[in-house]
Structure formats: structure tokens, C-alpha cells
Chain A
Amino acid sequence: MTDLTDELDAGTVFRWLTAAAASVEREADLLTELDSAIGDADHGSNLQRGFAAVVTALGKESPSAPGAVLILAGRQLVSSVGGASGPLYGTLLRRTGKALGDADRVTGSQLAEAMRIGVDAVAQLGGAALGDKTMLDALYPGVEALAAGGPHPYGAARTAADEGALATVPMRARKGRASYLGERSIGHKDPGATSSALLFTALAGAVADE
């Protein structure tokens, strides 16, 4: 069992991002299928390319601080994704990494606080808010659950992010390509919120592996 006072190191973050890459790879078809309903059908392939670049870069450089690992990964996403999810996830990871600073080990509470800063930066970049049917609808509940702690904080964050993604189904999109569809965006799960939930699943897996 892990709690928020347990410390994470660069290896934990490396495992987290590697698990995220594997999960994006596994779910790429699903993400693209969701995106074909309300977007331009490239979310799965774009993220696949981005996270593959992340794994390659981490294999070459392997920074020794959790913050530096996230910053390097964020940079790869910005430069290799090619769609809006690149700058958005890139900003999430970079700003989270910057907020962690150069400490070799960080607590779960510090990670939760840093991720909150990262998610706020994503909201600001995209000009979106909770309830707009975007990745924020999974990221905010996930981060809040993580910050709240409890006996299984990472598992709780995963559950909250999953539920947040599912809650986008009845929403009407107000941002991005899906917003052009108006009412017709209702009834579809948001691909960005779905991939964001994968990020929390990967985190829970990486921390439980310790």
C-alpha cells in the first residue's frame, strides 16, 4: 500500500511514463475511434507517436530527478504529436515537472500539488474549464482525489479520473473541434478525457509496483 508520504524518485516517474506509453499503444484504436465521432480521428495515432518519442528520449537521457523526467517528456510531446494534444499534454508534464523543481525524491503530496499547477496551466493554455467536455474533466477530478489522500490515493485518483471521463458522455463540447458539432457532440465520450484517465491508471500502476 502506498500513501502520499511515500517518496517517488525519477525511476517511479520513468515507470509511470513508460506505462502510459504502453497504455496509449494498447488503447490507440479506442482513442482514435472516440475521436472519429467528435474530432478528426487522429488522437490515438498522435499520442502513440508522442509517447513513443517520450520513451526513446528517456532511454537516451534518463534524468535523475522526477521533475527533469517530466520536463523532458513534455518537450517530446510538444515536438512530436502534431495535434492539439501535444502542446496540452506537453504543458501538463512540463509545468508539473517545473513545479517539482530539482529534488531527487518527492512525496505524493508534492506530486499532487505540482500536477494541480500543471492542470491549471493546461486550462489556461486551452482557455477551457471543467465541464467543457475536454481532458480537464478527467484531470481535475484525478488531481483532486490524489491531493485528498486517503488509504489508496493513487487508486482513488484513477477511479476519479475514469469517472470524470465517463461523465463527459452527456456533455456538450465547448472547446476544440468537437465544439463545431454543437448538440451532436452529446452522447460521445471525450477522447482527451479518456486519454487523461489512462495517465492516472499508469501512475497508480507505477506506484503500486514499488
Chain B
Amino acid sequence: MSEQQDASFAGREAAARSSAGKQRPKVGIVLVSHSKEVADSVARLAVGLAAGRDSAPVEGAGGGPDGGLGTSAELISAAAHKVDTGAGVAILVDLGSAVLTVKVLLAEGDELPENAQLVDAPLVEGAIAAVVASAGGADLAEVAAAAEEAYHFRKV
């Protein structure tokens, strides 16, 4: 079962890569965690594991307004604008206030770049899948699907 899903993921990725023009802007990815260290480290991990390709724009948005554990609307908004190349922005989050804050920012309408999307995916595995897909030239829907698929990679 997992092999089959791996194969379909690889296929999607290859298709995304071959259909992508070289000049096509890449989907930006924002990683929101309650911890700055987690957000930034997961960003580095995902870019590192996608090595060998041109990377995708990835930013961590971790920690609260006071720099401690929590969620900062300002950091999320700034990170989303930073990675926005016009191809859309996929936002992955850990839990609780990270989920709620992104939902509220999306509902506001003008806080995030147009074509920003909250992706329902596990943060670490989803980030790796999203960065690999985006680096390979996938569009926003494909990046989101790759990240969401990470929920189904069973480990046992």
C-alpha cells in the first residue's frame, strides 16, 4: 500500500517537473510552528532533503509576538509575502493557535498574498513533500496535494 502511494507520489512529482517551464515561478512555502527553532529547522530540513534540485522559496514563521512559544500573525504575514513569487503560497502549520491564526488571516482577505492556502498536512513530512514538489515545478494544487498525501504514509 505504501509502495503504491510512493509510486503515485513520484509519478505526480515527475509529471509536475516535466510540465514545468524553466522560468515558471515556484510556489512559496511557509512553515508555522509555535517554536521559532522548529519552524526554521524544518525549513532547513526540507530544503536539505530536496537538494540536487533548484530549491523552492521556504520561510519559517515560528514563535509568538513576544519571541516565546506561540503564534505571530505578523511573522506569518511577513513570511508569506517574502516567499510569494506569484505562483501561490502553501502554508503548513503545527496546531492550535497556528491553525486558527492562519484561518483568520485568510478570512481577512488582505493580510496574506492572493492565492495563499492553508494546507492540511503534517508539518515535517508535509514540508518535505511540499518543498520537493515546488522545487520540481509543481503548481499550488499539486504542492498542496503532495503535502496532504504525507498523512497517508504509514510508518508501521
A: residues with CB less than 8 A from B are 42, 46, 49, 78-88, 90-91, 125-126, 176-177
Contacts of B96 in A (CB 8 A): 83-84, 176-177
Compute how far the CA of A169 lies from the CA of B103 in the bound complex, rounded to whole angstroms. 29
The answer to whether A78 and B101 touch (CB under 8 A), given A176-B96, A177-B96, is yes
Contact B103 A125 (CB under 8 A): yes
Question: What are 12 A-B residue pairs whose CB atoms fall within 8 Å in the complex?
Answer: A42-B70, A46-B70, A49-B66, A81-B65, A82-B65, A82-B70, A82-B71, A83-B70, A85-B97, A86-B97, A125-B103, A126-B100
Compute how far the CA of A84 lies from the CA of B73 in the bound complex, rounded to whole angstroms. 11
Please provide the 8 A-B residue pairs with the shortest distance between their CB atoms, ordered closest to farther: A82-B64, A82-B70, A87-B100, A84-B97, A87-B104, A79-B73, A82-B65, A83-B97
Compute how far the CA of A78 lies from the CA of B74 in the bound complex, rounded to whole angstroms. 9
B: residues with CB less than 8 A from A are 64-66, 68, 70-74, 96-97, 100-101, 103-105, 107
B79 to chain A, nearest CB (A): 14
Q: Which residue of B lies closest to A81 (CB)?
A: B65
Compute how far the CA of A135 lies from the CA of B103 in the bound complex, rounded to whole angstroms. 19
B101 to chain A, nearest CB (A): 5
